[in-house]
Amino acid sequence: MRLDRFISQSAGISRSQARLLIRRGEISVGGEVAKDAARPVGEAETVTRGDLCLELPRPVYLMLNKPCGLLSATEDREQATVLSLLPPELAARVHLVGRLDKDTSGLLLLTDDGAWSHRIASPKHAIDKTYVAELAEPLVEDAEQRLAAGLLLRNEAQPTKPAILERLCATQVKISISEGRYHQVRRMFAALGNRVLSLHRERIGRLHLDAGLQTGQWRELTREERDCLA
Ligand code: URA
């Protein structure tokens, strides 16, 4: 990372303010006054301003138990977003890893590590997700086979990738999918002649929603949880 960017991120100031500090000779790298704002800062190098050692803020990785009724967005002019559940200083830093519909609850990930979220959301990795759905009608008998074969959704040319269904009772199921099309689960059940009454995400890849998190609560991921996804 360039020196001016490093200073801007670690001191919470703008890049031009960082360059001013460099021009004034206030910044040292490895004990030597640094003059070049574009010079890269190596991982092992120490950047100081006077006696103060400048360090990059460590990235944050959060899981949130999303309630229904909040938008999965970082900002919206009219409606409350999931970021309203976080303290302002965290909300200002993070972005969402994928989305849930306003009326879907459950596991949502947030981070300020763009490379991590990109890997998780990338269709290349096809990380599967499990949802619990309440249905309006008892599910048709051949649902398993039709979901495994792939369904053609309205206005789409490609069938869905194979999905796995587990019946919990006549009108409650678990479904695992490895894509993220618009309203995908709701549209899949519509294609089976049914209607989703409620939808809750309980798993992304190997990461399960913490059963101890009440609706609307969040916590940081452990290192193992972070690493099990990407
Ligand atoms: N599928 C949906 O239909 N909605 C969601 O929020 C997530 C998956």
Domain that holds residue 163: 128-204
pLDDT of 43: 86
Express each pLDDT in 83-100 by its tens digit: 999 999 899 889 999 999
From the candidates 51, 76, 101, 113, which is the catalytic residue? 101
pLDDT of 12: 87
- Hey, whose CA ends up nearest to atom 7 of ligand 1? 100
DSSP secondary structure code for residue 83 in this structure: G
Query: 15, 39, 54 — which closes off a domain?
Result: 54
**Residues above pLDDT 70, as percent of the chain:** 100
What would the mean pLDDT of 46-71 be, rounded to a whole number? 96
Ligand 1 atom at shortest distance from the alpha carbon of 186? 3
3-state helix, strand, coil split of the chain in percent (to 5) is 25, 30, 45
* pTM recorded for the entire structure: 0.85
- Asked whether the predicted pLDDT for residue 172 surpasses 90, the reply is yes
Same domain, 106 and 132: no
**Does residue 200 have its Cβ closer than 6 Å to ligand 1?**
no
Ligand 1 atom at shortest distance from the alpha carbon of 104? 6
CATH number for 137: 3.30.70.1560
Same domain, 157 and 212: no
**Does residue 184 have its Cβ closer than 6 Å to ligand 1?**
yes
Q: Are 81 and 91 in contact (CB under 8 A)?
A: no
What would the mean pLDDT of 52-73 be, rounded to a whole number? 96
Express each pLDDT in 125-143 by its tens digit: 999 999 999 999 999 999 9
101 given a catalytic annotation = yes
Same domain, 71 and 10: no
Same domain, 111 and 217: yes
3-state DSSP assignment of residue 165: strand
| Distance, CA of 124 to CA of 171 (rounded, Å) | 33
Measuring CA to CA, which residue among 200, 1, 224, 230 is closest to residue 108? Answer: 200
Same domain, 83 and 183: no
Same domain, 107 and 163: no
Which residue is listed with tokens 């360090």?
Answer: 55
